[in-house]
Amino acid sequence: MEQTCYKCGAAVDEGRAFCPQCNAPQIRVAAMEPVAQPAAALEAAQDQAPARSASSSGRIDWSQALPAVALAAVISSVLMVVPLGAFGLGMLAAGGFSVLLYRRRDPATDVTPGMGARLGALGGLLGFGIFVVFMAVSALLLGGGDKMREAVKEAIAQAAARSGDPQTQQALEFFKTPAGMAFVIVAGMAVMLVLFVGLASLGGALGAVLLRRKERR
């Protein structure tokens, strides 16, 4: 049986290694065709890869985190204004709820204590904003500002009465003036901001640790 030389086209007997006309080799190596993977398997691998990389990288998906943290801040603010609520408990809850709600929105993510602390800090910041709005509304509509000023003046008067130092009493009298009251309010707000962010951050870290322990059981 004859075959055609791929180079010059001359007839070549089957099994002959070289063409008798052009002496071209007649051995051809068949190229291996790639094995096609099923389309469903490729799509599944592509879908799982981003989730695994996101969970292992320790980064927060803020598009999922912001709604969760905002809701956590609202819940913690409600806890702070109910009769049995406490400010410290509400601040810690802001961080814990931030982690819990974020984990529910993004189940593939392994929330580390560091991530929980960042989520909690943001929850505390939003909670402080809600607290400031509540205090402003209370001062404008319910007369809360007058009550606050009277409480501050009474506390200053009691501190001045307990102090026997004339210079201390004179310094305390400054806080009864409008400028002194403004300073007290601003300083108090700054302290509240630090407490909100710090305690909520702690609550977020604790929430992440407890959530990890629960899932490992």
- Answer yes or no: is pLDDT of 44 > 60: no
Q: What is the DSSP letter of 18?
A: B
Task: With cut-offs at 50, 70 and 90, classify the pLDDT of residue 79.
Answer: confident
Query: Are 121 and 200 in contact, with CB atoms under 8 Å apart?
Result: yes
Q: Quick check: pTM over 0.75?
A: no
| Residue (of 116, 80, 140) closest to 207 by Cα position | 116
- Answer yes or no: is pLDDT of 40 > 90: no
Higher model confidence: residue 157 or residue 65?
65
Distance in angstroms (rounded) separating the CA atoms of residues 122 and 124 = 5
